[in-house]
Amino acid sequence: MSIDVVMFDLDDTLFAHSKAVATGVAAHRRAHGGAMAAADEDAEFARWTDLEEHHYHRYLSGELGFMQQRRERSRGFVEPYGLDLSDDAVADEWFGRYLAQYRLAWELHPDTRPLLDTLTQRLGVITNAELGFQLSKIEAMGIAPRFEHVIASGEVGHAKPDPRIFHAAVTRFGVAPERAAYVGDRLHTDAIGAASAGLVGVWIDRAGAASTSDLAEAAGAGVAVIHGLAELPALLGELATPRGLRREPPRGS
């Protein structure tokens, strides 16, 4: 059976989110001057990333609104420096200055555009975020015309790995789950979540950092593993074979 639809996660799958965050945080800290600018760059990036992970998941669970999770991240980051962001408007302005630096660093992964030029399937995006913000990235990168549908958790009301967002996506395309592949950089949220919903789950491990247990878990869930988007067309061809339909990971994964 052929794969008729290929959908992607956006951040750190097609779009170089972590790189843009690192650049944006460093520029924002330098603009502050003083102790914040002088702090260890790697440690501060790690602290920002931890805060993003924690409060963004609170947003995805419905505990916080989209703007509130931004405020909480900002307040947590400046707390060691004695800055007061208790006023929402002040917190929004502080985050807005970071966001301006983040936007300046937006770029696609180098293998994104060549892949999108190669694939002949119908294409889409499933993202855990607010639709408008993610569309702004896709449009700024000039790839919006490539995607038939962009499905966002903020619009659907369910976030990956909940099967309902994957089912909403295939319904939007009008295809059976097994005729759709989903590619993402997170093993559980993206690849196993998609596979559990009946899609072909593909984990892109760009850094090649997967542990033996990660690979075993991926294999057990029927998830294929790739290390760059250039590997995807061959994988899709393999998945169309009888062996591929058993959804074993490709050789060398």
- Give per-residue pLDDT as tens, 174-186: 999 999 999 999 9
Per-residue pLDDT tens digits for 72-103: 999 999 999 999 999 999 999 999 999 999 99
Q: Where in the chain is the domain with CATH 3.40.50.1000?
A: 5-16+107-245
CATH topology of domain 17-104: DNA polymerase; domain 1 (1.10.150)
Topology of domain 5-16+107-245, per CATH?
Rossmann fold (3.40.50)
pLDDT value at residue 78? 96
Q: Give tens-digit pLDDT for 178-227.
A: 999 999 999 999 999 999 999 999 999 999 999 999 999 999 999 999 99
Stretch(es) of the chain classified as CATH 1.10.150: 17-104
Mean pLDDT of 109-119: 98
Residue whose pair of structure tokens reads 């700024």 in the numeric block: 140
